[in-house]
Structure 1
Amino acid sequence: MTRPIILDLIPGAQGTATLLAALQVPDHVRPVLVLFSGRATEVEVALAHARDLLDQYGLEDVAVHAGCPGPMVRDGGVGSDLPTGQDGLGALHLVQAVRACPADSVSICCSGPLTTLALALVQAPDIGAHLHGVIVDGGAFYVHGDATTVAERNIAADPEAAATVLAAGVPVTLVPLDCTARLKADAVWMEQLEPMGRVPASIAGRVHAELVAARNGGARGSGVDVSLRAVAPLLALLSPGIFSGHMAHVDVECRGAFTRGMTVARRMGPPGVQPNVLLLDRMSVDAGRGVLRDLLLSVQA
Structure 2
Amino acid sequence: MKPRPILIDTDPGQDDAIAILLALASPELELLGLTCVAGNVPLALTSRNARIICELANRSDIPVYAGAAKPLQRELVTAEFVHGKSGLDGIELPEPTMPLREGHAVDFIVETLMQREGVTACALGPLTNIALALEREPRIAKRIEQIVLMGGGYFEGGNITPAAEFNFYVDPQAAAAVFASGIPITMAPLDVTHQALTTRPRIAALRGLGNRVGEVAARWMEFFERFDEQKYGQEGGPLHDPCVIAWLLKPELFTGRSCNVEIETHSELTLGMSVVDWWGVTPRPQNAWVLGGVDADGYFKLITERLGRLP
TM-score (norm 1): 0.83
Unaligned runs of 5+ in 1: 76-87
Partner of 1:253: 264
* Contact 2:47–2:65 (8 Å) recurs in 1: no
Q: Which residue of 2 aligns with 1:297?
A: 308
Aligned-partner residue type, residue 43 of structure 1:
T
Check the 8 A contact 2:153/2:189 in 1, yes or no: yes
Name the residue aligned to 2:79.
Answer: none
Distance 1:192 1:259 in 2: 39
The equivalent of 1:238 in structure 2 is 249
Residue 218 of structure 1, CA deviation: 8.4
Compared with structure 1, are the counterparts of its residues 293 and 265 closer, same or farther at alpha carbon in structure 2 (3 Å cutoff)? same
Q: Cα RMSD between the aligned structures? A: 2.5
Cα offset, 1:269, TM superposition: 3.4
Map of 1:112 onto structure 2: 125
Contact 2:196 2:294 in 1 (8 A): no
Matched, 1:189 2:202: yes
Which residue is equivalent to 2:104? 89
- SS of structure 2 residue aligned to 1:35: strand
Aligned to 1:174: 187
Contact 2:253-2:294 at 8 Å conserved across structures: yes
Q: Is the 8 A contact 2:8 2:34 kept in 1?
A: yes
Alignment partners' CA distance in 2, 1:66 and 1:224: 35
Q: CA deviation at 1:100?
A: 2.4
Aligned in 2, Cα 1:262/1:283: closer, same or farther, shift over 3 Å?
same
Give the C-alpha shift of residue 193 in structure 1: 1.1
Match of 2:51 in 1: 48
Instruction: Report what 2:99 is aligned to.
Output: none
Indicate the residue corresponding to 1:83 in structure 2: none
Whether 2:236 is the aligned partner of 1:225: answer: yes
Contact 1:136 1:175 in 2 (8 A): yes
| 1:1-301 correspondence runs (5 A) | 1-26=2-27, 28-37=28-37, 38=39, 39-53=42-56, 56-57=58-59, 60=61, 62-74=62-74, 89-102=104-117, 105-196=118-209, 198-199=210-211, 202-214=212-224, 225-266=236-277, 267=280, 269-270=282-283, 273-299=284-310, 301=311
Contact 2:225–2:238 under 8 Å retained in 1: no
Aligned to 2:65, the other structure's residue is in SS state strand
How far apart are residue 29 of structure 1 and its match? 0.8
Once the two structures are overlaid, the 10-residue window that deviates more, 163-172 or 209-218, is 209-218
CA contact (8 A) 2:229 2:236 kept: no
CA contact (8 A) 2:127 2:178 kept: yes
What are the ranges of 5 or more consecutive residues in structure 2 without an aligned counterpart? 76-102
Quick check: 3-12 or 203-212, which moved more? 203-212
Letter in 2 for 1:30: E
Instruction: State the AA in 1 paired with 2:113.
Output: V
Q: Deviations over 1:7-31 (max 9, x none)?
A: 11221332222111112221x1110
User: How far apart are 1:210 and its partner, in Å?
Assistant: 3.8
Letter paired with 1:48? R
Going from structure 1 to structure 2, the CA distance change for 1:217 and 1:246 (only over 3 Å counts) comes to closer
In 2, Cα distance between the equivalents of 1:192 and 1:50?
Answer: 20
Give the TM-score taking structure 2 as reference length: 0.80
Cα distance in 2 between the residues matched to 1:12 and 1:224: 20
1:15 is matched by which residue type in structure 2?
D
